[in-house]
Structure formats: structure tokens, C-alpha cells
Structure 1
Amino acid sequence: MMTSNLKFGILGAGSIGTYIGAHLIRAGLDTVLVGRKKLAHEIQENGLRITNYRGTDFHLALQQVKYSTEIESLAGRDIVLVTVKSAATEESVTRLKPVLPAGKTVVSFQNGVRNAEVLRSILTEAHVLAGMVPYNVVWNSPAHFHCGTSGTLVIEEQGNISHTVLSGLRQAGLMAKTHADLSGILWGKLIFNLNNAINALAGIPLREEISDLGYRKIIAAAMREALMVLKQSRIRPTGSGGMQPNVAPFILSLPNFLFLRVASRMIQIDPQARSSMWQDLQQGKKTEIDFINGEIVTLAQKNGLAAPINDKVTTLIKEVEMKGGGSPNISATEMLKKFSIKSAH
């Protein structure tokens, strides 16, 4: 089937799903977005606006956007991109199963390392591909989605099936590639995602956060601990962009003048970028902490190891979730004390 004839669907049209889906729509690809009523109302009033750190800025009118709150709207789609939160994967794809004919393609574009396994266990007659989204997208109401970091989408290499998806994404102007080892890629992404929670606790933009050596020391400590757990568990994380997971803690620990010079060559971050976990806290939503830092804690326990830093991060986020009120805005100095890490100065 030619790419122009493909019918795409987005299951879980929040920040990532809507950003990707809007690009598909702009390219003229038949795309249905399925998400919550909140966004449906915003699109009804404002259409859909997409911006990114490179200066891209486009608007889709209401008439251009096929948006639904019903999973049944995905019936007949050739390719469904799943972008729901990890905790909602099982419930969402169980509802998708009777809607999706056999032989269709489903791609997991979600945080965490196990979502594709869940999809395969339920959607037994679909072609399921693991996928990885490297960049950060923030939902700036009303119906404005801003991508604040660089990166390339990665999907699991499965011959013609994956290359058909790849063609659609590229036609939409999205950088994308395939990779044979998505498990390694997803574990590598998880290493970098360990910062999501720290950024959420700090309550400041990502660029401001990583410009502070104090915060970087905490991120580096969480990453070192995770890399140790992965090594002991015989899991090898793989990088897909400029910065590799195994060297990230060293680079993050560099003095500011060196770090900023090195990091600027590897990743671009604009002043608006914040972690999705920060946004979840601000909106009073349950975060994905159990599927990120909590995943490291679970793996450590499974192998008789300890992961005290990631355990502490997980506990702090859950405490903030229960309390409500958004980010606690913890300073770098205060956070260093909480993790018993020596001051950056």
C-alpha cells in the first residue's frame, strides 16, 4: 500500500500523540486522533497549534482534525500509534482489540521498556512494533503543543512493516529511523528519562535545570546507580542520539563551562522545555514514575541489589502526587541534601 493511502490512528492523543498526529495530518495523511474530552473541547474552540524549538509553527483548523474520544473511531486504521501512559496500556489495548482487524500494524510510542510486550500479549493478530520517542513535548493550553528538544523517532526493524511506518513518519516531516535492538534503545532512553522526576521536583525548565551543576550531580547519581543495576542484570542500554547512556553521568558531572560546550553539540533544548512528569504534577495526574525510576528499583530488587537514589526519587514523586498542588520546587541545594550528595561547589 502506498504511504499516501495509509490510514493512521493515534491512541492516546496527549502531548506526544497529538504532536506526531498533527504532522501526519499536515502532510495529508488520513489520521484519526483518539484522546480525552478536554482536548476535544480545546480543538473545537481553537483548532490545533504545533510549534518546536527550531521555529516550526503551524495551525490546523477544526475542519482538518479528526478527533474522537471513542476507541471505536480507530476501526479500519492501517497503522495505530499507541501513546497512552504506561499504566493505561493494558486497559486501552484491550478495548482496541475488537476494533482492530487482523494484520494491522501497531507501534508503541510510550515511555518505559515493557509496553510492546503488553501490546503483543493482547493484540495477538496485529504486527506490533516497539518504538521510542526521544523528545519532550509540552501541552500549552489551549490545544498548543510545543516540542522543546531535538531527537529522532526510532521503531523496531521488521522489514517492510517497519519501513512502511517509517515512510509515513518521514513524509510528515518527522525524523525517524529503524533499529534492530529496541530493547537496548528503550533501556537507554529510560536512563535519560530518570531526569523526568528530578525536573518535576525542581519545578524549573529543563535547560535551566541542567545548567545547574547541583541538579546535574543528582541526575548523574541516579544514572550511575541505574547503569550498575542494568550491568548486574546483564542488560545493555543503547544510545540512539548524540549522548550515550554509559557516558552521560561523566558528562553531566563536568564543570559548567565544559558541560555546556559538550552538551550543546549533542542535544538542543529550548527555554520552554519541561518534563512530562512536571506537567502531570501540575495537572494533578498520576505520573509514570513506576515505569521509569521505579523500573530500576524493581529490577534491582529482582536481582538482590539496592537502588536507594531511584527509590528515594520514586518515593518523593509519590508523596507529591498524594499531596497535590504541583511541583514542590526543590532547590538544587536542598535536593543534594535529601540525597546525601556532596554540594556541587
Structure 2
Amino acid sequence: MAAARVAVHGAGSVGCFIGGCWQAAGIDVTFIGRPNFVEDIANHGLTLSDSNGWEAHLDKVDYRTEPTGLADADIIALTVKSAATADAAREIAKHGRKGALVISFQNGISNVDVLKRELGDRFQVARGMVQYNVAFLGEGRFHKGVAGHLYTENLPETQALAQRIGDGPAALKLSDDMLGIAWGKLLINLNNAVAALSGRTLLDELSQRDYRRVVAASQREGLRLLKRAGIEPAKIGGVAPSLLPFIIGSPDWLFRNVFLAKWKIDAKARSSMNDDLIARRRTEVDYLNGELVALANRMGTDAPINRRIVELVRLAEKGVDPWGPATLRREVLGR
């Protein structure tokens, strides 16, 4: 049986890192993404690195802008922004090979539902999760600045893919509880909006307790909603979901010396939502904090903290300046 061919659809920072690592492991990868990346990678190749000092360089990279590159793929790793999921699904339906496996490595919960609705039974759809952050440093360089793993559903196709990838920065872990993992990751990702509103790197933002208090409050609200809905988020990394707000909101001396030291966040790491604000792109806040707002609405209740964060990100998309720690805390928490 021939080795599976992979296409990364929506190859931005995360997609370039994942696909690049997989190509470095010997997998045939086609990248489909933005015109500016085509030129950058054509001129510089693809350089990948992580916070542990690992680095790899690829001179020959098949990076395209047209979705026709989906036609030969057995596995499609989808890394487009969540708002573009329906459009990407229609491109897959038009150009992809019937029976191909589509793995959603996207933020949020609802993307898999969108894909299944648009693709029907012509394609397999699997949920995935990216636990780490990737920063584009220019000149074809993509840096994994936060420790973490890549997850997807435990299927025969993903078992074979994981074996071919082997160990490394984009190794593939398999799970039978991907929905629980997705909710667990969403609770962690509630920090993305606060980091974006701060305008700072992740390390700088997380070093300020007032920012962390806002994140912790949004997580507590999320945990209450999930409990009411009968949803059990999975443990991601070394911290149980129920403990996240206590750790995030802990005093600076404890957070910095005990918790932050274990999470291996380097100075280059930043929220992709912050990158979107800088580039004046629409963010994914509706698929992070907004997922909790939508869940609350379905249950006939409210999520005021996460709803206010969504509103502030929407204002930031229009060019509102970053918020200081105490100012943001008072704006969201009222104290």
C-alpha cells in the first residue's frame, strides 16, 4: 500500500510548522495558503524551530495558493481560521479526492460540525487539536514557542500517519476522547483573547496578574457552563481543567516560580489572535470565548465575562489600542 499523501489547507503559521515537520519526517506534503507565504518560502525555503533548540530547514517546498493541490491528497490537514471553514469545505468538496480524511486542526468546537454538514459522506472528518503556539518570524521561519502536542482521533489512517511521523515537534498523538480534549483546549485558549487585548507577548501578558485574573474568571464561567451542560473537558497537559482558574489567578510569586517555569513559554511566543489584530484580520474569538457565549444562549442563561471579552476583541479589530492590566481587569470584572 502506497504511503499517504498529505495536503495542508490553510497553511499559515501553524499549518506551515505542522506540514514542514511532517515533510522533514519523509512525508509527501503539499501546502495551500496565502500568496505572501508563496513568495517568502520560495525565496527562503522553510525553517522550523522550537523552544528546545530543535531546528530543520527544507529547501524544496510545494507551496501553492490554488486548492487544486487537494486533488492528490489522502489526508487533508485543515488549518484555516475558523470563520473560513465553510468556504474551505466547499473547496475540499470540489477539488478533493473522494474518501480522503479531513482532520480539523482548528480552534473551537463547531468546525467539525460545519465540515460534516458541507462534505456529507464523501469524505471522512476527524477532530484534531494543536496544543502549542507557532510564530512566523519572517524569511520562511516558523517557531514553536510553547510546549505541547498535536492530537487527533484514533483511526486506522491516523495510526499509520502517526507511525510515519514518529517522534519530534509535530508528533501526532491519538485519542478516543477528542471532544473532551477540544473543550479542555478551549478553556486554555481563553487566554488568547486577553493576550491579544494586551498587545503583548504571551510571556509578558502572563507575567501580569491582572491579565491572568481576567483569564481565570472567564475559565471559571466556562467551567460552570460546561458542568451545567453535562460536558466534561479533558485534562490537557499537567493541569486538570478544574484547577486552571486557581493556577492562572494565583499570586505572581507562585505563578512565575512554580507554574510558568514548567510551561516552557519562550520570549518569541505570542497569541495568533494578536497577530490577527495587527494584520487587521477578523479574529477567531467567536470560536473561543464565543463558543461559551453560544452554549450559554442555548441553555437560556448568560456568560457575561466571556461576552464582554468578545465585545472588546470586536472593538480591537476596528483599531482600539491595547488595554493595560488593571484597566482590562476593571472593564471586564467591574472591580
1:334 maps to 327
1:30 maps to 28
Using the TM superposition, give the Cα deviation of residue 122 of structure 1 relative to its aligned residue in structure 2, in angstroms. 2.5
1:225 maps to 221
Q: 1:151 aligns with which of 133, 138, 148?
A: 148
- Cα distance in structure 2, aligned partners of 1:126 and 1:50: 31
1:129 maps to 126
- Cα distance in structure 1, aligned partners of 2:239 and 2:80: 27
On the 8 A contact 1:150/1:269 being kept in 2, the answer is yes
On the 8 A contact 2:135/2:143 being kept in 1, the answer is yes
Q: Map of 1:190-269 to 2, 5 A cutoff?
A: 190-264=186-260, 266-269=262-265
Q: 1:178 aligns with which of 158, 174, 179?
A: 174
On the 8 A contact 1:74/1:99 being kept in 2, the answer is yes
TM-score, with normalisation over the residues of structure 1? 0.92
- Cα distance in structure 2, aligned partners of 1:128 and 1:266: 34
On the 8 A contact 1:214/1:336 being kept in 2, the answer is yes
1:231-276 per-position Cα deviation (integer Å, ceiling 9, x unaligned): 1111111123112221100111222222223314652110111100
Distance 1:279 1:173, change over 3 A: closer
- Cα distance in structure 2, aligned partners of 1:177 and 1:45: 33
Using the TM superposition, give the Cα deviation of residue 230 of structure 1 relative to its aligned residue in structure 2, in angstroms. 1.2
Distance 1:172 1:241, change over 3 A: closer
Using the TM superposition, give the Cα deviation of residue 141 of structure 1 relative to its aligned residue in structure 2, in angstroms. 2.1
Matched, 1:139 2:136: yes
1:45 maps to 43
- Cα distance in structure 2, aligned partners of 1:323 and 1:230: 33
Distance 1:176 1:265, change over 3 A: farther
- Cα distance in structure 1, aligned partners of 2:227 and 2:148: 26
Matched, 1:307 2:295: no
1:168-190 per-position Cα deviation (integer Å, ceiling 9, x unaligned): 33266523211111111101111
% identical equivalent positions:
37
Q: Secondary structure at the match of 1:323?
A: coil
On the 8 A contact 1:243/1:266 being kept in 2, the answer is no
- One-letter amino acid of the counterpart of residue 152, structure 1: H
1:76 maps to 72
Structure 1 window deviating more from structure 2 (275-284 vs 42-51): it is 42-51
On the 8 A contact 2:27/2:165 being kept in 1, the answer is no
Q: 2:54 aligns with which of 44, 53, 56?
A: 56
On the 8 A contact 1:242/1:267 being kept in 2, the answer is no
1:317 maps to 313
- Cα distance in structure 2, aligned partners of 1:270 and 1:205: 9
Q: Map of 1:164-175 to 2, 5 A cutoff?
A: 164-170=160-166, 174-175=170-171
1:204-246 per-position Cα deviation (integer Å, ceiling 9, x unaligned): 1111211221111111001101111111111111123112221
Using the TM superposition, give the Cα deviation of residue 51 of structure 1 relative to its aligned residue in structure 2, in angstroms. 1.7
2:288 maps to 292
Unaligned residue ranges in structure 2 (runs of 5+): none
- Cα distance in structure 2, aligned partners of 1:200 and 1:241: 23
Q: Secondary structure at the match of 1:246?
A: helix
Matched, 1:100 2:93: no
Using the TM superposition, give the Cα deviation of residue 341 of structure 1 relative to its aligned residue in structure 2, in angstroms. 4.9
Q: Secondary structure at the match of 1:339?
A: helix
- Cα distance in structure 2, aligned partners of 1:331 and 1:33: 38
- Cα distance in structure 2, aligned partners of 1:298 and 1:148: 31
- Cα distance in structure 2, aligned partners of 1:278 and 1:235: 29
Distance 1:96 1:172, change over 3 A: farther
Distance 1:219 1:199, change over 3 A: same
- Cα distance in structure 2, aligned partners of 1:87 and 1:168: 31
Using the TM superposition, give the Cα deviation of residue 138 of structure 1 relative to its aligned residue in structure 2, in angstroms. 1.2
Q: Secondary structure at the match of 2:142?
A: strand
On the 8 A contact 1:79/1:104 being kept in 2, the answer is yes
1:18 maps to 16
